Structure 1
């Protein structure tokens, strides 16, 4: 098999990101958004998951196990990666130690989309939620969280967010949390988010 050799000019001028470069305000901005996603939005998705399964916290694994075939063979391929599968379908020879608090945004999204009763957004699951700004359904809010996660923490090329982008994301975050609160009722995600915005954190605490 002949190996692939990219054209020389494809790499011309590329020096990569300097790992020894000082941490900037843009790095701090990125870290703050990542923490808000993992904490406040993580709490929101966990509440949605439990509410739309109509189960108590301790019973969520029974619902997931009942949908094992769908999660492991859905759409012709496993919907979960190996780490996610190990977390929700642990080795039967040992007692389950995982909890919903250990489910990250990606796993929560997969479970909500595929085995919960949350209605799909207008454009359907997996589509760009920004194409339908007037869709304030719960499914649309879940899709927007997926979008935030992918564009901020999942696929960031340099771990930086400008001051203007930070302000824009704060506004978008607040709007999505408000939409979720209107449907879920009695939740205080916006208050959690306001406290999060006031925190000054280091880049290391975001990892």
Structure 2
């Protein structure tokens, strides 16, 4: 892995992995539980679904027509996975950074949400130090490797290539 990079470059690389790679992982996870053709009816029937914005409902309703989750952002994917899929919650529960020892699918979904929020969702600066970048990147690689094992035919290991671009 390249080291001693500009903090802005580190930020950019982490964001690309989170937006491109991790969103693909979340799309595939949702698709493994609910097909795009069924998402609107399942979302409408779900009593525990949080209040969604009108534009999110448009995206949900369009999924059947498109036959994919391509227009779902990571936040909407997280909401759908958490509320429509039968995943048991991570050991510490939802909306908390998972324990490093919790390697469940739900914990990795929660890690993706955590990094999305920490890296660019709620940050005040577009920079990440080298030491912080190494920690984030290692965790993102591990998430990718676990999903690779759970999703034959998918290749989430492209995170390894992103780090040196």
Tell me if TM exceeds 0.5: yes
The 3-state SS of whatever aligns with 1:125 is coil
Q: How many residues align?
A: 160
Runs ≥4 residues deviating over 4 A: 95-99
Q: What's the offset of the Cα at 1:66?
A: 2.9
Q: Give TM-score scaled by structure 1 length.
A: 0.69
Match of 2:83 among 81, 102, 114: 114
Runs of at least 5 residues in structure 2 that lack an aligned partner in the other structure: none
**Which residue number corresponds to residue 104 of structure 1?**
73
Q: Deviations over 1:47-93 (max 9, x none)?
A: 1111122x3xxxx14233232142xx636x51x23331221136xxx
**Which residue number corresponds to residue 198 of structure 1?**
164
**Which residue number corresponds to residue 154 of structure 1?**
121
Runs of at least 5 residues in structure 1 that lack an aligned partner in the other structure: 1-23, 200-207
- The answer to whether the 8 Å contact 2:37/2:67 transfers is no
Q: Deviations over 1:143-163 (max 9, x none)?
A: 000000000010011111112
Q: What's the offset of the Cα at 1:139?
A: 0.5
1:134 aligns with 2:97: no
* Cα distance in structure 2, aligned partners of 1:42 and 1:102: 10
- The answer to whether the 8 Å contact 1:128/1:147 transfers is yes
Greater Rg over alpha carbons, structure: 1
